[in-house]
Amino acid sequence: MKPKKMIPYGRQEITQTDIDAVTEVLQSDFLTQGPRVPKFELELSQYCGSNHAVAANSATSALHIACLALDIGHGDLVWTSAITFVASSNCALYCGADVDFVDIDPLTYNMCPLALEKKLSIASKSGKLPKVLIPVHLCGQSCDMEEIHKLSLEYGFKIIEDASHAIGAKFKDSKVGKCDFSDITVFSFHPVKIITTAEGGIAVTNNPSLDNKMRLFRSHGITGNESDFHLRPSEEVWNYQQIDLGFNYRMTDIQAALGLSQITRVDEFVTKRNTLAKKYNDSLVNLPLQLPKIDSKSYSSFHLYVIRVCPHKTNKTHKEVYNSLYTAQIMANLHYIPVYLHPYYEKLGFKRGQCPNAEKYYSEAISIPLYPGLSDKEQDYIIKTIRDIFE
């Protein structure tokens, strides 16, 4: 039966414990810059197995300070995946750098290591190698970080993992965020992601100097560490100095309290998402669809469940499927338009045809609802609706 309310593609899970944690902050001494942000940073880095974590007001801000900490500026080149949210690329533009895009693997939809290797080999001949690469763990599945890391040693670039979709995911039995194969990893806590702080993000690293720099850029470029102070006559030395140009990208204690409460349930959320994904896999199998392929080295956090409508098996387009779902009160979505096809990027000179696998994916993909609170009844209804579209 058609539901009264639209079923979204993703949504947060909020319990009374979450609400109590947030209201407790509202009655406390500190709404921001209190004890909960550092506690959340500690819990999160312990969860991932990294040494440091810098919380920010969004993953977009975290990506920006990650680029700044790696010294990205005018004249530098940053590469990311063609299929991602625009923030993975905009963060480099904020720093004045130029960006370029690597094509995806047609099965995992992540940055393709072979395409990357080919592009690097061409770029090295023309002296246009990237300073930083931002691989994106699309839908919650880690990229092949071992391969990407090998290439970084050969070609000398740094790595920021955009793991906005992937808290709770694993690559070769290590949690994403351990930074075994990267300099910095960034997570998002937007409500559609795995856990939420409303708006919020975090950058984790094992490198104390990057940690220090990201803290500086998060808060105006102001430091309270005397060892970082610039030399001044002693009567001019107070307990802080601005030593670089930073931003106000701080997370509040209200957000961190929600994050602290949510992180206790991250594994539960990811397990539930995998259970729901398995049911989709089993129930949508003999339709003219390409279903998600999880590499044997990966455990996905299943932020998104993407189906591709195969043009050689049906004359229905993904737009038609999207519209039929919409009529049935199911809000699907498209993740994502190739970044370089957005009008802003076209103005920068990017052209259609650059990443054929990404463009083919874009013409076929839709994300169907997947979140821990999706009921069996709702999922059965979604499955039946999709089957009816093709039968």
Ligand X SMILES: *Cc1c(COP(=O)(O)O)cnc(C)c1O
For ligand X, the binding residues (CB under 6 A) are 58-60, 84-85, 87-88, 136, 162, 164-165, 188, 190, 201
**CB of 66 within 8 A of CB of 211?**
no
Minimum distance, C-beta of residue 301 to ligand X, in the bound complex (Å): 12
Distance of closest approach, residue 207 Cβ to ligand X, in angstroms:
21
Computed on alpha carbons and rounded to an integer, the radius of gyration of the chain in Å comes to 22
In this complex, which beta carbon is closest to ligand X, that of residue 58 or of residue 223? 58
| Amino acid letter for position 279 | K
CB 142, min distance to ligand X, A: 13
| Shorter beta-carbon distance to ligand X: residue 129 or 192 | 192
Judged by beta carbon, residue 178 or residue 335, the one nearer ligand X is 335
> CB-wise, 90 or 283, nearer to ligand X?
90
According to DSSP, the residues that pair with 180 across neighbouring strands are: none
Nearest approach, Cβ of residue 102 and ligand X (Å)? 14
Helix spans in the chain (H): 16-26, 36-48, 59-69, 87-94, 113-125, 145-155, 208-218, 253-263, 266-283, 318-327, 343-347, 356-362, 376-390
User: Which parts of 97-252 fold into alpha helices (H)?
Assistant: 113-125, 145-155, 208-218
Q: Which is nearer to ligand X, 113 or 140 (CB)?
A: 140
In whole angstroms, the minimum distance from the beta carbon of 328 to ligand X comes to 26
CB of 67 to ligand X, least distance (A): 13
| CB contact set of 242 (below 8 Å; sequence gap of 6+) | 220, 221, 222, 223
C-alpha–C-alpha distance, residues 129 and 348, integer Å: 19
Residue 70 is classified by DSSP as: T
- For the four alpha carbons of 336, 341, 343 and 344, in that order, the dihedral sign comes to positive
Task: Look at the chain and count its residues.
Answer: 391
Compare residues 134 and 374 and give the one whose CB is closer to ligand X: 134
Q: Are the C-beta atoms of 141 and 110 separated by less than 8 Å?
A: yes
CB of 356 to ligand X, least distance (A): 21
Locate 149 and state its tokens: 């890391």
Nearest-angstrom CA–CA distance, 235 and 222: 19
Q: 27-32: which pairs have CB atoms within 8 A and are 24 or more residues apart? A: 28/253, 30/253, 31/252, 31/253, 31/254, 32/250, 32/252, 32/253, 32/254
Q: How far is the CB of 362 from ligand X (least distance, A)?
A: 15
The sheet that has 174-175: what strands, in order across it?
A: 174-175, 170-171, 298-299
Count the neighbouring beta carbons within 10 Å of the beta carbon of residue 96.
11
User: Residue 203 or 287: which CB sits closer to ligand X?
Assistant: 203
Q: How far apart are CA 158 and CA 129, in angstroms?
A: 11
Q: Which is nearer to ligand X, 94 or 229 (CB)?
A: 94
* Whole-Å CA distances, 32 to 7, 22, 26, 301: 34, 12, 10, 30
* End-to-end Cα distance, the chain: 18
| Comparison of 85 and 157: residue with beta carbon closer to ligand X | 85
Distance in Å, CB of 344 to ligand X, minimum: 16
Min. distance of Cβ 110 from ligand X in angstroms? 11
- Kindly tell me which of 201 and 338 has the beta carbon lying closer to ligand X: 201
